[in-house]
Amino acid sequence: MKITVIGTGYVGLVTGTCLAEMGNHVVCVDVDGEKIRILEQGGIPIHEPGLLEMVTRNRSAGRLQFTTDLVAGVAHGTLQFIGVGTPPDEDGAADLTYVLEAARNIGRHMTDHKVIIDKSTVPVGTGERVRAAVAEELARRGLTIDFAVVSNPEFLKEGAAVEDFMRPDRIVIGADDEQAILLMRALYSPFIRNHDRLLVMDLKSAEFTKYAANSMLATRISFMNELALLAEKVGADIELVRKGIGSDPRIGYHFLYSGAGYGGSCFPKDVKALISTARNEGIDLKVLHAVEAANERQKLVLVDKVLARFGSDLTGRRFAIWGLAFKPNTDDMREAPSRVIISELARRGASLTAYDPVAMPEARRVLQDIEGLTFVDQPAQALDGADALIIITEWKEFKSPDFDAIKSRLKQAVVIDGRNLYEPALMTALGIEYIGVGRSNRSCENAT
Ligand SMILES: NC(=O)c1ccc[n+]([C@@H]2O[C@H](COP(=O)([O-])OP(=O)(O)OC[C@H]3O[C@@H](n4cnc5c(N)ncnc54)[C@H](O)[C@@H]3O)[C@@H](O)[C@H]2O)c1
């Protein structure tokens, strides 16, 4: 099939590349000339495991092209995916400026039948607004050209995006046009060959499903973070509690880790947007308000632990920071808890030496105003002479570190672990003062 993807960010680039991998002819369009330049020169503008190889393969095969030429982009695809950003506006609602601009652009330049597929995360009712925007542009040109609008929310996880797209748990299609539904079935059938995981529903329900999914996941995280605060007070270990409840199949193990709060480009903005949609309908989503408030508090939990251990004036203190990205396997720093933690510690006079396996270039850009923040190329370098090690992102390479080096290179053998990577009992045995989230320091010998 001939496909155009409008917006070549995390979602657009992965979508376009994976669709090309199945043999489709894909043109990815973006207004950001720098992004397109990097892609045309054989690089990729983001870190995503497996993506560069797939982009390279499909470019060489002539199935994947990148352009800033919006007119050529509209001309190419029968299927027009919209994968542009939907950041929160000042009230927390999703800002649809980019989505509607992309839709208008299709209406301005289309000359034949198009299926317009919204892959961006958009509030209920956006499909209708996309339809109206395209129709308005066609009317302005005095043309009647048939087109369909489909909602196809994306559920990929950054850091595992290629894998998620190639082997999806489910594909949600919201549409009322039978021809468009048939096309979408054909497009996705190679991705779901062993059993059908395509869920067809109406447009509004599809749009709603994406927000419901992210809000549910955010709720689980905030719930566990609150329980972790209580576990510390009463002397329980949240990691044992997590295993205790996760073993119940009605609950399951996913998204039950307490830590430094959720971040990234999706959960914070999608929770806000659903609250905003509900507010417009006169409904106060009390659970989600609490989820948001708990998360804001949680981002400061590591700071509170530093202050409890070292006092409120951190002048002259230096801390090693391991992990900056909002989660492992990505360089995405959007809404990363590290940003709040680093700003707050620096504001109190601390200097910080940070390491992240891939997010340092992006971190340098977004944290450039922070005084006393330096970056190092190796995790061990960050330790030298620091008062404590603070772990913010659970990269694999931090999971089995050289504990002797941690102990000997730090000025004080203190580890403040925002991701609960280590066993408290082991750390105590090693002579390292260990401060996790919701952990007790009792022996965990029987824990598995
Ligand atoms: N990042 C994720 O993990 C993820 C997962 C699922 C869904 N989503 C949703 O997908 C959407 C895109 O997210 P993202 O993380 O890929 O965003 P992004 O910021 O990485 O990419 C968006 C791209 O769209 C481009 N753009 C903006 N307006 C344009 C226009 N009129 N024409 C062409 N290009 C335009 C921007 O230059 C940018 O490169 C959002 O709605 C997001 O909520 C994201």
> Beta strand pairing status for 433-435 and 114-118?
unpaired
DSSP alpha helices (H): ranges in 235-359? Answer: 238-246, 267-280, 286-299, 301-310, 337-347
Q: Which of 4, 6, 11 to mutate to test the pocket of ligand 1 (most atoms within 8 A of CB)?
A: 11
Q: What is 130-153 written as a DSSP string?
A: HHHHHHHHHHHTT----EEEEE--
Tokens of 198: 């395509």
User: Given this model, what pLDDT does residue 444 score?
Assistant: 42
User: Given this model, what pLDDT does residue 312 score?
Assistant: 94
DSSP annotation of 194: S
User: Given this model, what pLDDT does residue 195 score?
Assistant: 84
Which residue numbers are catalytic? 266
User: Given this model, what pLDDT does residue 440 score?
Assistant: 79
CA 300–ligand 1 middle distance (angstroms):
28
CA 46–ligand 1 middle distance (angstroms):
12
CA 291–ligand 1 middle distance (angstroms):
25
Report the amino acid identity of residue 363: A
User: Given this model, what pLDDT does residue 441 score?
Assistant: 61
DSSP annotation of 318: E
**Mean pLDDT, 10 residues at a time, the chain of 448 residues:** 98 98 98 98 96 98 98 98 96 96 98 98 98 98 98 97 97 97 97 92 98 98 98 96 98 96 95 97 98 97 97 97 97 96 98 98 96 97 97 97 97 97 96 95 43
Q: Whose Cα sits closest to atom 3 in ligand 1? A: 158
User: Given this model, what pLDDT does residue 443 score?
Assistant: 41
**Whole-number Å distance between alpha carbons of 72 and 69:** 5
Q: Report yes or no: 95 and 59 within 8 Å, Cβ to Cβ.
A: no
Tokens of 353: 């030496």
CA 406–ligand 1 middle distance (angstroms):
39
Q: Report yes or no: 98 and 122 within 8 Å, Cβ to Cβ.
A: no
CA 10–ligand 1 middle distance (angstroms):
7
Residue list, ligand 1 pocket, CB within 6 Å: 6-12, 29-32, 35, 83-86, 98, 101-102, 120-121, 154, 156, 158, 265-266
Q: Whose Cα sits closest to atom 4 in ligand 1? A: 11
3-class state of residue 406 by DSSP: helix
Atom of ligand 1 nearest to the CA of 161: 3
User: Given this model, what pLDDT does residue 343 score?
Assistant: 97
**Whole-number Å distance between alpha carbons of 171 and 352:** 43
Atom of ligand 1 nearest to the CA of 32: 37
**Whole-number Å distance between alpha carbons of 447 and 196:** 39
Q: Whose Cα sits closest to atom 35 in ligand 1? A: 7
